[in-house]
Amino acid sequence: MTGKREGPGRPMRCDIAGIGLLGPGLPSWEASRAVLAGGVPWEPAPVALPPPVALPPTERRRTSPSVRLALAAAGEAAAGSGLPAAELETVFASSNGDGAVVGSILEALTVPDGAISPTQFHNSVHNAAAGYWGIAMGSTRASVSLGGHDDSFATGLVQAVASVVARGVPVLFCAYDAPLAPPLDAKRPTDAPFAVALVLVPEGGVPLSVELAPDAEVTPAGEMEGLARGNPAARSLPLLRALAAGRAARIALPLADGGAVVLEVGA
Amino acid sequence: MSLMLPPLALAARSAVSAMGTGLAATREALHARRGGLAPCDLPGMPEGIWTGRVPGLEEVALPEALTRYACRNNRLAELALGTDGFAEAVAAAADHYGAHRVAVVLGTSTAGIAETEAAYARRGEDGALPTEFDFTHTHDLHALPRYVRARLGLSGPAVSISTACTSGARSFLEAQVMIAAGLCDAAVVGGVDTLCRMTLHGFRALELLSRGACRPCAADRDGISIGEAAGLVLLVRAGDAAPGSLALLGAGASADGHHMSSPHPEGLGAIAAMRAALDAAGDAPVDYVNMHGTGTRANDAMEGNAIRALFADRVPCSSTKGWSGHTLGASGALEAVIASICVEDGLVPGCLGVETPDPEFGVDLAVKNRAAPVERVLSNSFGFGGSNLALVMGRA
């Protein structure tokens, strides 16, 4: 029998082979590196959500802003990794999912006959972004979609890295969240759309280690702290800033119900 | 080439559905061929449909310290935790491994969204949702694993999975990954999904609801009956359990990459997931396929094609959704528990209410219960977004 263990377990190790980003004043990873590294001032600007060109026109029209957000970051990370996008397993993590679509269904349900749109219904599933990614890339690889509320980036990253470590396969991880519509937005405020994506591989990139810790102080995101607090996917900013600056860093992501995820990058 | 994930033992199980509360009631319903579907009597639902409702759910109380989590979905989770000694088995595992080494990994498609539906109906004149409505602890997907983790006094990782109707099955694969990666030594996995207006009206909008009790795989099937269920399993390394324990032997996942709500007609994604699960389980033969089998024309036909492509008519198959209804994000977990009962009892449950199985499938479709040696069961789950998941259940 495995006995009781005192420690929280070993760190998991993998490499980061590709990065994608989309957020206010952060139009892509490539275009935002200088800003994230601190060399150029950050100027928040509305987020343009490109229609996913890889999708057939009918499907493209059906994509919501949150799906476009996720696919933009995921596409950039996959392209940057040099690996064929269709061959990557995927982990999508989002607190709200397609919350705007869910909101409009909830609105429709308030009228007596409750008639809702069939397209909206199938777009309301939390794995909508993953589904459209598979269609866009012609990918039949396994995919999982996770929630996580404020912890969605940290717990999603842990699951993605665990998959790389346990199964030895490259994994595309994408965390994204878009604001909800009224009146739900008052109960779950999300400031601006934000998506981050990482292609994680067993070997061949910037080293990343991930471990669970009993407790840790949050690593601040500097001038972008407000952005980081306003969207669960933007909790990735301290990591992105370290990656952009090319510096080694230890980054703590405390979890809502106690405990923390601790990342070490470039070590 | 990907690394293989070791099998995991089922250290504890719990199931609550319209079939009954607990393993004994579920088992008895299977053997007696007594289904739990009935005309829908919840208010505000589509007219003239049947559902698989868990009776008495409204009266289930959560512990006082956790009442902020109160919603239909967490009440169902609570009912399942209190059944079959499940909470006690988890407490023993936490004592053995440490509470921080037990993860909670649960699937749901809609969590406690029924609370939000009710809150929308109580909006003030300014359109704002009522003050007392707690989105975070009810509607949010993470509310389910957070509630279960708090209720069980665990401090390991909490993971919420939402891949539509594969959510519950996917939790088994995620737990295998987490234990293999060293993140935990045990995991509470499964799925909980409850009846809500969004789901029922959504399936009505897609014109997929049956007018009576669903009859998966029948030649004249006419759609889905939605049900609610909780299926929970405590997974540990096979080496930590007695030899011959019930076990998850392998899991396989794939995506269709085809369409958001229609499956690939030839079932290529389904075939890939089943193959991956069989490979992961060491490629030993299976004795029964518990189908996803929801009762829609297209999905059952696709699955029939996929099973025929892999097994021709050599392996008996059936869907147990005629008993429980389609319990969505819980279905894969409920059916993993049912599969384990089939292994224990040597049972191939025949589809309920099916007079003429669809002859187009070309598979060995069981429509009556059969007593037969069942060492391994392949259990299928397929969902919107082209999500496919298959589990092989057996003994370690």
Residue A1 has pLDDT above 80, yes or no: no
Q: What is the pLDDT of residues B162-184, one digit of tens each?
A: 999 999 999 999 999 999 999 99
Residues of chain B contacting A166 with CB distance shorter than 8 Å: 3, 5, 176-178, 180-181
Residuewise pLDDT in 10s, chain B (396 residues): 578 999 999 999 999 999 999 999 999 999 999 999 999 999 999 999 999 999 999 999 999 999 999 999 999 999 999 999 999 999 999 999 999 999 999 999 999 999 999 999 999 899 999 999 999 999 999 999 999 999 999 999 999 999 999 999 999 999 999 999 999 999 999 999 999 999 999 999 999 999 999 999 999 999 999 999 999 999 999 999 999 999 999 999 999 999 888 888 889 999 999 999 999 999 999 999 999 999 999 999 999 999 999 999 999 999 999 999 999 999 999 999 999 999 999 999 999 999 999 999 999 999 999 999 999 999 999 999 999 999 999 999
Considering the domain boundaries, does residue B254 fall inside one? yes
Give the residue-averaged pLDDT of A109-119.
Answer: 88
How many interchain CB pairs under 8 A, A with B?
Answer: 246
User: pLDDT by residue (tens digit) across B331-353?
Assistant: 999 999 999 999 999 999 999 99
Min distance B61 CA to chain A CA atoms (Å): 22
B259 is catalytic: no
Q: Specify the CATH number for the domain of residue B226.
A: 3.40.47.10
- Is-contact A124 B241, C-beta < 8 A? no
Those residues with Cβ within 8 angstroms of residue B74's Cβ, 6 or more apart along the chain or in another chain = B62, B112, B138, B143, B144, B147, B192
Percent of residues, chain A, with pLDDT higher than 90: 88
Q: Where are the domains of chain A?
A: 12-205
User: Which among B14, B182, B178 is positioned nearest to A2, based on CA atoms?
Assistant: B182
Q: Which residues of B touch A70 (CB under 8 A)?
A: none
Q: Quick one: three-class SS letters along chain A? A: CCCCCCCCCCCEEEEEEEEEEEECCECCHHHHHHHHHCCCCCCCCCCCCCCCCCCCHHHHHHCCHHHHHHHHHHHHHHHHHCCCHHHCEEEEECCCCCHHHHHHHHHHCCCCCCCCCHHHHHHCCCCHHHHHHHHHHCCCCCEEEECCHHHHHHHHHHHHHHHHHHHCCCEEEEEEECCCCCCHHHHCCCCCCEEEEEEEECCCCEEEEEEEECCCCCCCCHHHHHHHHHCHHHHHHHHHHHHHHCCCEEEEEECCCCCEEEEEECC
Whether B218 maps to a domain, the answer reads yes
Is B165 an annotated catalytic residue? yes
B44 contacts on A by Cβ (under 8 Å): 109, 114
Residues of A with Cβ-Cβ distance to B162 under 8 angstroms: 97, 125-127, 145-147
CA distances from residue A122 to A73, A115, A127, B209 in whole angstroms, order as listed: 22, 14, 10, 15
At residue A2, the pLDDT reads: 44
Identified catalytic residue from B137, B139, B264, B326: B326
* Residue B69: inside a domain: yes
| B178 with A139: Cβ contact below 8 A | no
Count how many domains chain B has: 1
| CB-based contacts of A7, cutoff 8 Å, min separation 6 | none
For residue B166, being part of any structural domain is answered with yes
Task: With respect to residue B2, please indicate whether it lies within any of the assigned structural domains.
Answer: no
pLDDT, tens only, B253-272: 999 999 888 888 889 999 99
Secondary structure (3-state) at B118: helix
Inter-chain CB proximity A128 and B385 less than 8 Å: yes
Please report residues of B whose CB lies closer than 8 A to that of A209.
none
For A165, name the nearest residue in chain B, comparing CA atoms only: B181
CB contact under 8 A, A131 and B255: yes
Contact A109 B142 (CB under 8 A): no
In a domain, B3, yes or no: no
Looking at the domain assignment, is residue B36 inside a domain?
yes
In terms of Cα–Cα distance, which of B5, B105, B2 is closest to B392? B5
pLDDT at A6: 46
Q: Do A130 and B255 touch (CB under 8 A)?
A: yes
Could you tell me the residue range of the domain that residue B124 belongs to?
A: 8-395
- Select A12-205's CATH number: 3.40.1380.10, 3.40.47.10, 3.20.130.10, 3.20.20.140: 3.40.47.10
- Closest-CA distance, B30 to chain A, in angstroms, reads 31
Question: Which residue on chain A is closest to B205 by alpha carbon?
Answer: A118
Instruction: Using CB atoms, pick whichever of B128, B155, B260 lies closest to residue A186.
Output: B128
Q: Are residues B269 and A140, on separate chains, in Cβ contact within 8 Å?
A: yes
The answer to whether residue B142 is catalytic is no
Query: Are B178 and A162 in contact (CB < 8 Å)?
Result: yes
Tell me how far apart the alpha carbons of residues A26 and B299 are, in angstroms, rounded to a whole number: 42
Considering the candidates B137, B139, B264, B292, report the single residue annotated as catalytic.
B292
Position B1 in a domain = no
Tens of pLDDT, residue by residue over A226-250, are 999 999 999 999 999 999 999 999 9
- CB-CB under 8 Å, A166 with B181: yes
* Identity of the residue in A124, A147, A166 whose CB atom sits nearest the CB atom of B177: A166
CA distance A111 to A151: 34
Q: Give the three-state DSSP class for B222.
A: coil
Cross-strand bridge partners of residue A173: A91, A198
ipTM for the predicted complex: 0.98
